[in-house]
Structure 1
């Protein structure tokens, strides 16, 4: 080992000690000290940034990694440049896909939500955050937590289901994991950005109480648990006001009521005025998409004219600085090009995929596959290539690259960037590796008669069915489309031992459901999705996923059978000019009849039976619940025992719901015990008062009168096993 000179050792020790001392100074004080040293122009640098790929290479900062965008720092004061990358499913390399850049692809957000596992969410976040830093990014645009209000919405695959408690807890875990790498994470898209149709012009009309009890509650819980450095405001309007210039959302709720101390960045192309800074927006992102430099050139003019005070610039810059110091960005300079252990990261992605797979049907214990099955025909879904993924800004080119890539849309706003491709491990190869003695044949399924004939000659058939989803495109219906329903029906008619593996970003209807023996919902499986599917099919992994969304039986069961805006007329020339549109629909309002009763709550309120309820999921073993003890008073505590009463080790997800008189049921908690055969474990859940109470907009408090509640310990929102009644004291608390 080379011995360092004593003087150099002392210098290094002094440098390290100085950094350690600096890190112990509160982030607020450090931000204030830096702000005091900055010029007006330097403060302004922190408030806007371009899309890097739209800046000529010669004009970009040298050595910067190209991603979603960047915000210049102040080098003389040690304030670093912010280098941003999408998104929740891995380091999105949309800008560099053609150059061969790859990253570890996590399964979809819907898959993560189906795991019901906050620790898994944190592990996945830590992994993608580590890759982001290694590649040269210190801001990651993760944290999508918009609730699934409509199963046709194009970005649902990125999000975490329909329940605010489940989504909020999981996104908080993911954000905390990402930020453990000394980078800033976001939570997005704030707020009520629940569909893609008309996302730039639509206005959501909803009362305050309904917002607080649903979408805003998911954000609030996520912020409390994850402490994201930034909140990203969305494209849409709420009550006629764009969310990125919405004083109620950005100032009253986010900062006054929730005490949020980070900064608010816009979504790319979501800024409409310089005055947005007065409402609570701190940073204009992807400024080229807005067409105007609202937070730079126009902001200077606004300050000079007196319409925006200089203190507003100080406030916004201070928030950005504080996030840099609070999350270690300023103290851990980027060093792009660091090595990445892709094998270790793929193992995390595989575990996430395995935990998110939901067994929906398993007649006569068709699964796991028996060793006696010798002739298997695998059909459709490009299972010989890889697993599908969603399109848009969250898309990741996995290690090994994307294969069989086509456009995700032939026209419209998604045509330029949404891609449809396959990657990761191919399910066909993985199945052959798990079943080396079986004769496994593959057909692409395009010839329905040939597929049915092959199925009739096999011991069993496994059909991979897919449905593409992407940012900027909502789906027209709930069918699989592309002739896949007809294919499944024909194959199941030819062979009663047919298994369907769904690879979708959303719920789908299943007109063939009773004709097939088994159904797996595998979502978009990520880096090792094929391996995860094969291990669940063969029983190497016992499925433990439970649905984070309701699978409706038809669109008629939805609060809005017709997707809002899907029948809106095209915007005329004058309207396009007012709203800054090149194309698109005329502005329209969105009304959600379900209000705060999203998803399973709506089905409960209406007494409607879905195809598969929220929380549903089967296992290769069985579980028994007993010994329910419910304690009331000032809070609600639920205790019970879970026993693995089957012959296989497995994890269960017992769920606790409460119902108040005249109200829809609400999830108040869950557990995920992993138990060996015969093993028992006591579960304790203490309810968050906010999922019990209602928000009173007049008093601005969460309130509930003293009274009795029905408590259910269930295997899904529709399947109670243990029930009890408890009396609770009055709830009255601040937001």
Structure 2
């Protein structure tokens, strides 16, 4: 969701909760609750939900299909605190009040609505994806869910799975990269982790919320087959594996219809084909109608004060009374909400009424492990890394590395434990009302001094490249911390590092051949200095203990083990869209971001054509015969691995098997990857992967099965099927570096009929 309209939107009047009729209340009080079928945990969640709906009044049903936005609502409830959303429950039936929080990277508290309330901040979702480890994603989700429950929240607006189609998308850091299998699997595990706490997780934003420029007005256009084989496939994998209680629809249009009133997405695909039983909630300010949205499949209007009117209260009641929306549709809406509530465990395990203690130290360990597993070593000339702990003079340059590490902005912003040593309000732009440039209090300088106690470790702010070069020249080791802040609601104006940092890095590299760059960015950046620098480390936004994680990787306390979940381009000309497409008549990103068609004016036409179709990221490069600067799946290690005795199999269960040996003297992590190219000749696809930790000299046999959902193709009128024929399977260390490959005959199989 977004808080970008908090300061700009007009304060709309709330609607007082409807009172239960005396007659209905009397009947409910007389009914023994123990005998109520909705209490029977042996029944399927949907059956229990239907029983609850039969016991509810019309007013209670209507109250549960639209939610308040606490910072703006005029309604007041004793248990409502500043947060993303609040939906009053039905206490007489045990139906819980829904208390919603943003939670992509932790329990969010963007501009400190709740004074003094802090939480554990995970690293950027791209770091979690870079671990290529579903267990890391599960642990992060479980940690966030535990903190949310302890803070009395029970619905988390997490589970971002939108594919990275454009490197400059301001929200890429919240998502999981460019590949549907990796993104879907990691999102599924994060969602599962959240919901082990008996609370609801969403998966979002359904679908094609691929840029922030003009996100509330753009119309995403793509061929249906391509959409199904890319973004929708990622959502399908996440939903199948994670079973989220809710799906959040997106701001944008898809094929001419708003995502939150798009019958193709919400009913034909999500419910009809996928059989999804939970509920669809809107994004905050993402509803545009009553009748069309209800009929299309939207179940709950979120943050009602951010919409032009409250569509799912009186207007919905009037539409039902007039027969324009069937009463049965309202029952279905509430049934789906309650199915998500029951299936997630929330109904049977209500969240506590008051805040509970949290083991923040243990949770910070979870965040640190995720950061360490996701840091990617991009370059390591002459094994400059890991640094020897015998170094005498070390200089850290730039990036505010003396006090903390950068975090991304927007609704995912966590007020982390330890406070914010730097917090810079925005003076302009679409994110100004709800985002600040914020650092977590995890100082790389302090962490490096702790890990190298005998060295003279100094910090130079990097504002003066000449002074920075002089400091680097006098040091054994020079580390430049380069940053690029990105945020929800705004796309990056450029893929170049801002504020003259390219010139700073060039000056330092010239002064000291052992210089290393640590990148704290929300995605790829251009590297004009790539050939001049000895080492490059991609640290993303590293979270609660990012300074400690960076230090441990730089000094080899842990292996550099991350692998890129998205491609880094050599130049913007390689990208499908070198910069955001702007609506007709607009000349800047800020114009597009601020024009939402507010008031009575219709939004401008804003088509965005995704010409790459299903060939997102590394598949786009492969289709065009180009090489990225650093490809998907790429990442170096501090040790060496041998891949031997490789066997490929076809038939009904295609895949590969390999014996992986750590031939080095350090413990390390290997990530063998399986890519498949089908008989249709389309570019290769990641079909399987595995992260394994090996001690020096250790050998492990790894089996990689090709996921049939990746081998399958969708055909209109027929559905999903693996076409029988000759497939090329490749065992690789990234999308461009094969260890071995073989053609195998694969049996045909129907994966999902239409």
TM-score (norm 2): 0.92
Stretch of structure 1 that moved more, 174-183 or 363-372? 363-372
Q: Is the 8 A contact 1:234 1:267 kept in 2?
A: yes
Quick check: 1:66–1:95 contact (8 Å CA) kept in 2? Answer: no
Cα deviation, residue 566, structure 1: 7.1
Whole-Å separation in 1 of the counterparts to 2:601 and 2:63: 32
Cα distance in structure 1, aligned partners of 2:601 and 2:410: 19
Inter-partner Cα distance in structure 1 for 2:232 and 2:480: 39
Secondary structure of 2:578's counterpart equals coil
1:438-492 Cα deviation digits (max 9, x unpaired): 0011011011111111111111210000000000000122111111000000111
1:324 aligns with 2:341: yes
Is residue 342 of structure 1 aligned with residue 369 of structure 2? no
Map 1:118-197 → 2, pairs under 5 A: 118-197=134-213
Choose which of 435, 452, 465 in structure 1 pairs with 2:482: 465
Matches of 1:290 and 1:376, distance apart in 2 = 54
Aligned partners of 1:209 and 1:695 also within 8 Å: yes
* Residue 226, structure 1, aligned to residue 242, structure 2: yes
Task: Check the 8 A contact 1:543/1:620 in 2, yes or no.
Answer: yes
1:270 is the counterpart of 2:289: no
Q: CA 1:584–1:135 in 2, change beyond 3 Å: closer, same or farther? A: farther
Residue in 1 aligned with 2:709?
Answer: 690
Q: Is the 8 A contact 1:569 1:585 kept in 2?
A: no
Query: Is the CA contact 1:97–1:397 (under 8 Å) kept in the aligned structure 2?
Result: no
Is the 8 Å Cα contact of residues 204 and 247 (structure 2) preserved in structure 1?
yes
Deviations 1:174-220 (A, max 9, x none): 00000000000000000001000110111111111101100000000
2:602 & 2:470 partners in 1: Cα distance?
46
Structure 2 match to 1:668? 687
Within 5 Å, give how 1:409-424 maps onto structure 2.
409-424=426-441
Tell me the equivalent position of 1:374.
Answer: 392
Corresponding residue of 2:5: none
1:570 CA drift (Å): 7.3
Q: CA deviation at 1:82?
A: 0.4
Matches within 5 A, 1:579-618: 579-580=597-598, 586-618=604-636
Q: In 2, Cα distance between the equivalents of 1:347 and 1:230?
A: 29
Decide whether the 8 Å contact of 2:394 with 2:457 is kept in 1.
yes
Q: Aligned with 1:702: secondary structure?
A: strand
Deviations 1:368-420 (A, max 9, x none): 1113311111000010111110000010011011222112x432321101110
1:647 matched to 2:660: no
In structure 1, what is the Cα distance between the partners aligned to 2:330 and 2:646?
56
Gaps (5+ residues) in structure 1? 1-13
Q: Is the 8 A contact 1:570 1:586 kept in 2?
A: no
Matched, 1:490 2:507: yes
Note if contact 2:73-2:305 (Cα within 8 Å) is conserved in structure 1: no
Structure 2 counterpart of 1:71, from 87, 93, 106: 87
CA distance, structure 2, for counterparts of residue 278 and residue 207 of structure 1: 24
Q: What SS is found at the alignment partner of 1:193? A: coil
Residues 66 and 301, structure 2, Cα contact 8 Å, conserved in 1: yes
Instruction: Note if contact 2:394-2:477 (Cα within 8 Å) is conserved in structure 1.
Output: yes
Partner SS state of residue 52, structure 1:
coil
Please give the root-mean-square deviation of Cα atoms over the aligned residues, in Å: 2.2
The reply on whether 1:730 has 2:741 as its aligned counterpart is no
Relative to structure 1, the CA distance from residue 527 to residue 427 in structure 2 (aligned partners, 3 Å threshold; closer, same or farther) is same
Equivalent pair of 2:666/2:695 in contact (CA under 8 Å) = yes
**Per-residue deviation at 1:576?**
10
CA positional deviation for 1:98: 6.6
- Counterpart of 2:127 in structure 1 is 111
Q: Offset at 1:568?
A: 5.3
Match of 1:8 in 2: none
For 2:422 and 2:586, how far apart are their aligned partners in 1? 35
CA contact (8 A) 1:626 1:722 kept: no
Deviation (angstroms), 1:609: 1.1
**Counterpart-to-counterpart distance in 2, 1:439 and 1:606:** 49
State whether residues 214 and 595 of structure 2, in contact with CA within 8 Å, keep that contact through their aligned partners in structure 1.
no
1:433 maps to 2:433:
no
Q: 1:204: which partner in 2?
A: 220
- Aligned-partner SS, 1:256: helix
Superposition pairs of residues 517-532 of structure 1, within 5 angstroms: 517-532=534-549
May I ask how many residue pairs the two structures share in their alignment? 717
Deviation at 1:22, TM superposition (A): 3.2
Structure 1 Cα separation of the partners of residues 63 and 537 of structure 2: 50
Contact preservation (8 Å) 1:568, 1:586: no
Please state if 1:392 is matched with 2:407: no
8 Å CA contact 2:722–2:748 kept in 1: the answer is yes
Deviation at 1:260, TM superposition (A): 0.2
Query: 572, 577, 582: which one pairs with 1:565?
Result: 582
The range that moved more, 444-453 or 126-135, is 444-453
8 Å contact kept, 1:19–1:331 = no
Matched, 1:246 2:262: yes
In the alignment, which of 298, 304, 311 is matched to residue 315 of structure 2?
298
Of 449, 468, 484 in structure 2, the residue corresponding to residue 451 of structure 1 is: 468
1:554 aligns with 2:571: yes
Q: What is the DSSP-based 3-state SS (H/G/I as helix, E as strand, rest coil) of the residue aligned with 1:446?
A: coil
Find out whether 1:406 has 2:424 as its counterpart: yes
Question: What is the Cα deviation at residue 304 of structure 1?
Answer: 2.2
CA shift, 1:64, in A, is 3.1
Asked if 1 retains the 8 angstrom alpha-carbon contact of 2:110 and 2:435, the reply is no
- TM (norm. structure 1) is 0.94
